[in-house]
Chains A and B, each alone.
Chain A
Amino acid sequence: MTPRRLGLLALPLLWTAVFVVVPLLLILKISFAEAQLAQPPFTPLFRDGALAAQMGNYSLLLEDALYLRALGNSLLFAGLATLCCLVLGLAIARAVTRAPKGWQPLLLTLIILPFWTSFLIRVYAWIALLKPEGLINAALLGLGIIDTPLVLVNTGFGVVLGMTYSYLPFAILPIYASLAGQSPKLTEAAIDLGATPMKAFWLVTVPLARPGILAAGLMVFIPMVGEFVIPDLLGGSATVMLGQTLWTEFFSNRDWPMASALAVLLTLLLLVPAMTLQRLELGRAAR
């Protein structure tokens, strides 16, 4: 590598080292310690010149049903919401690519527009819509469709809905980018050869948008698994996710080592499948 290219790489490498690698190593270190009532609130890694690391936090993580349930909830709700995001994202992205050329920038702006309002306020707004005396229940009761209010908030449904809503734009944009790069001639060719427009979509458009769909999936799934605000506001005691557990360990129990172990587990959990998928996709593209 030439010195010039190395120079160009210096900034991203430095950034990653200072703000990603070093903090992760610190977390890793703390995860092998024990909590104590002191400053800092964990035991040092070396005591009396010997390594004092212990695996207690990790074994507790794997034994305690509380953590396993939080993990299961995280994967389940994030998985469902990712699926919803991909289906809706595909439909919306396709609609945008089909819109007149002059409209597309406006439509994309509208998709990003919600980000101009605070995330927290938008999630609170969902409570107002979903609660038993909220807008949705009032409308359904008023129309006589139901006679007792539906329980929408404090449920898994609320969590999945909230996450789908919040992360949808992140799914739309990469899918839109991969659809917009496709020649409309390909769909026409499929239709000309006897495929219904629906078949043409599934047999040609979707397979060609694979990299975009995959990127969209990772882009929403990874932050959703660690999501804290949405399950806290829209979920209930039965829908506790890893992010909330982590928060509780850290701030309520002041158990930094346990929280760190959770964080390490979460990182590994997301890193491995994400890297595998990406490697597979790169392999496909090279072929």
Chain B
Amino acid sequence: MPLLQLSGVSKSYGAEPAVDTLDLSVEDGESLVLLGPSGCGKSTLLRLIAGLEAPDSGRILLDGRDITALPSHRRPVNMMFQSYALFPHLNVRDNIAFGLRREGLATAEIASRTSEAMAMLEIADFAARKPHQLSGGQQQRVALARALVKRPRLLLLDEPLGALDKRLRQQTQAELRRLNRQTGIAFVFVTHDNDEAMALADRIAVMNRGRFRQLDAPRRVYDRPVDRFVASLMCETNLFNAAVESGIGGLVAARSGTLLLHYSADADRPTRGGRQELALRLEQIEISRDPPAPHWVPGPNTASGIITDIDYIGDMTGISVRLDDGQVLKASQLNALHEPLLELDQPVWLSWDADALVPLRAEEA
């Protein structure tokens, strides 16, 4: 039995549905990330699970028990709020003990569990400080301790790293993963940052307009995006709207401009005469400074062109290449230590694997 189960859950504000008949299950101990642009309904979904909003329709089950009508303060689910919502009039210790006091536990137990939580998150030194005397990273830890000390069945985290700088964010990502494994508590994150999603998730649910576009392991979402929305959300990508020419076995030939594209596809994909949208990630393209052969003519999944733009970002170099037919392809490669950097107006030859071309589902209206 899954830990949390949502069936047909909807919530709308006015005419626009924020969450549109969603089904979702979360397993015990799992780390699930809800990923999407702002306004996609991910925060509303989190608030529905927390009980801070009531769904218009649908049911929410926790451990098989229907909690749809259970008020928030009685749900064994806790939330770490975006910008933390620490109580400014209470010190760190009292902030963390707040939830335990509401459970009517013995004073000694409250004290020991509070100390334990502060030790786990290494904030015991600040126990007597007020939130405004803490740095952003310290506040984040207090917020986490305040939620975890309740030993919830499920921890909800609304953009938990949004207020931290990049270095601290990466450090905290690793720590959140550790806490997730160590406590065995299931985590549900909300974020709009795809890197963060991949670093934190066992599974990613990509959301748009109140619906899931794809719910899969991070690697699957990254390597095999189902549609253009998911493909462009996960990373910068080349998109082709190709005319399908022929299909031999699982291999389909299509054309975009003068480019000949060979890709592998399932049987139910459109064949001859149809159009197929394809995604090709930048780092899947092999960049070569010399023609592969002396009298080279472009074949399937190859192209040549001139570099029109270079973006050097340390470990990687991204380039834009104008092909002979005017199409622009983007590509990137890792920088090797002894290789000269690519230059503007330099001619390059590009090639890629048939499996690097990902056929996308046509966008819904």
Contact = CB atoms under 8 A, between A and B. Distances in A.
Given A207-B89, A208-B89, A193 B81 contact: no
Given A195-B102, A199-B102, A189 B85 contact: yes
A185 B83 contact: yes
Given A194-B99, A195-B102, A186 B79 contact: no
B85 A188 contact: yes
Interface size class of A (residues with CB under 8 A): 10 to 19
Contact of A185 (B81, B103, B146, B147): B81
A38 B74 CA distance: 78
Contacts of A208: 88-89
Contact of B99 (A183, A188, A193, A204): A193
Interface of A is mostly: helix
A191 B85 contact: no
Contacts of B147: 193
Nearest to A199: B102
A192 interface: yes
B305 to A, nearest CB: 51
Interface string B72-84: 1110001101110
A194 B150 contact: yes
A192 B89 contact: no
B103 A188 contact: no
B102 A193 contact: yes
Contacts of B50: 192
A199 B71 CA distance: 14
A193 B150 CA distance: 8
A190 B82 CA distance: 14
Interface in B52-110: 52, 71-74, 78-79, 81-83, 85-89, 98-99, 102-103
A240 to B, nearest CB: 42
B85 A183 contact: yes
A183 B85 CA distance: 8
Nearest to A188: B52
A112 B87 CA distance: 32
A194 to B, nearest CB: 4
Interface in A203-229: 203-204, 207-208
Contacts of B89: 204, 207-208
A196 interface: yes
Interface centre among B50, B71, B74, B81 (most CB of A within 10 A): B81
A206 B82 CA distance: 23
B73 A192 contact: yes
A194 B73 contact: yes
A196 B52 CA distance: 12
Interface of A: 183, 185-186, 188-197, 199, 203-204, 207-208
10 contacts: A183-B85, A185-B85, A188-B81, A189-B85, A189-B87, A190-B87, A190-B98, A191-B52, A192-B81, A195-B73
Interface pairs A-B: 10 shortest CB-CB: A193-B99, A194-B102, A189-B85, A185-B85, A192-B79, A207-B89, A191-B73, A191-B72, A194-B73, A195-B102
Given A190-B98, A191-B52, 13 more contacts: A183-B85, A185-B85, A188-B72, A188-B81, A189-B81, A189-B87, A190-B87, A191-B73, A193-B73, A193-B102, A193-B150, A194-B73, A194-B74
